[in-house]
Structure formats: structure tokens, C-alpha cells
Amino acid sequence: MSKMRFYCVATLMFLLLGAARAQSETRCPLREVKFATSNQETPISVSNVSFATRFEQSVSWLDVKNDSSKPIGAVSLIVEFYTGKDYVLSLLFHAATLAKASGMYESTPRFSSIFTTPQTLPASLLPGESKRLEESGPLFAMHCPNTARVSFVRIDFGSGATFEVRANGWRCDAWLSNAKPWPLDGIPQQPTFGA
């Protein structure tokens, strides 16, 4: 009988911890979202950026809209999050059609896709269309960020042309330096924890 009681209590504790973990999400309001400046007109816009911390990770959502006159087959963004002027962390957003994704990975070394699995675009993002993207990272933000900066943009158009812009002073966390689909060699990295 005591063995049965132990299993019942253990199961109940497991369920309670699971429920608490699922409920432990903190939403962080962002008051400002900056976009990397470029001499060229950026073919996308980013809106509705939101950020949350969950039990063991940081999560963000954003909308990407195709403002160009050409279909987009793949888009990658690095978004930096700040509390005031203090850097918190970066997240890589990536979405691609199956055709674009398979072509990009052929020349890229294989790294674990656990952090940067691309979201699937069922079809090219046509002019005027939007796509909601979600990304999470293994770093937990100790403080809620209140600003975000889109600091890196890479777009592959259906025609094969590309567009890339990197903001002045852009940086990312060390774990993103091996991110798919493009290895980001020589980028300035921000340590996760202070020295």
C-alpha cells in the first residue's frame, strides 16, 4: 500500500511541477523597436515584436512583411534586446521555403539545429504578404528588455538575388556564431555573463 501511495504522490508532484512550469511565462513590453539603417531601401518591414521569458528560455515573436516587388524565398534576422542601454541577448529568426532551405544548407557546415531550426514558408512570401515568426533561445533574460534592435537582415529572393544589411556595432551571443543557414564568421560577440 505504501508503494502505491508513493507512486500517487510522485505522479501528483510531477503534474504540479509541469503545470507550474507551463504557467511561468513573463511577458515583457517593448517600448521601442529600431531597425538597421541602410543606404538601400530595406525590402522588408518588421512589426509587432514581443518578448517573453519562460521557465528555462527566452522567446520572441515578430511579423515580417515583404515591402518589395519580388517574392522572398528566405529571410533571416538577428534581433538584439536591451534593458535601457544594457545588452540582454540576441535571437536569430529564420524562415525559408523548402527549396531555399535545402539549397542554403548544402554549402554550410552541419551544426545542431536545436537553436536555429528554420520556420517553413509554405510558399514564397509575395509582395505585401506578412509572416509571423517565433524564436526561442537557451539564454534566460534575468531582466525584461524594453527595446529591440533588428541589427542583421539577410533576404534571398525567389529570383536568386540577395539583400543583406548589418547595423553599425551589431553583435550577437556566442552560440549564434555557428547559426544556420550562414556561418557568421568574424562577428563581434557579446559575452552572456559579465567577466
What pLDDT score was predicted for residue 171? Answer: 67
Greater confidence (105 vs 60) lies with: 60
Q: So what's the pLDDT on residue 68?
A: 94
Highest mean pLDDT among 10-14, 50-54, 176-180, 189-193: 50-54
Domain count, the chain: 1
- Identify the burial level of 54 via C-beta atoms within 10 angstroms of its C-beta, where 0-12 means exposed, 13-18 middle and 19 or more buried: middle
**Per-residue pLDDT at 112:** 42
Which one of 65-79, 136-150, 160-174 scores highest in mean pLDDT? 65-79
- The answer to the question of residue 157 being in a domain is yes
| CA 70 to each of CA 119, 129, 160: distance values in angstroms, whole numbers, following the listed order | 20, 11, 11
Q: Is the Cβ–Cβ distance between 59 and 51 less than 8 Å?
A: yes
pLDDT of residue 77: 87
2 assigned to some structural domain: no
Residue scoring higher pLDDT (2 or 47): 47
18 within domain boundaries? no
Range of the domain at 186: 25-190
When pLDDT is averaged across residues 149-172 and rounded to a whole number, the result is 84
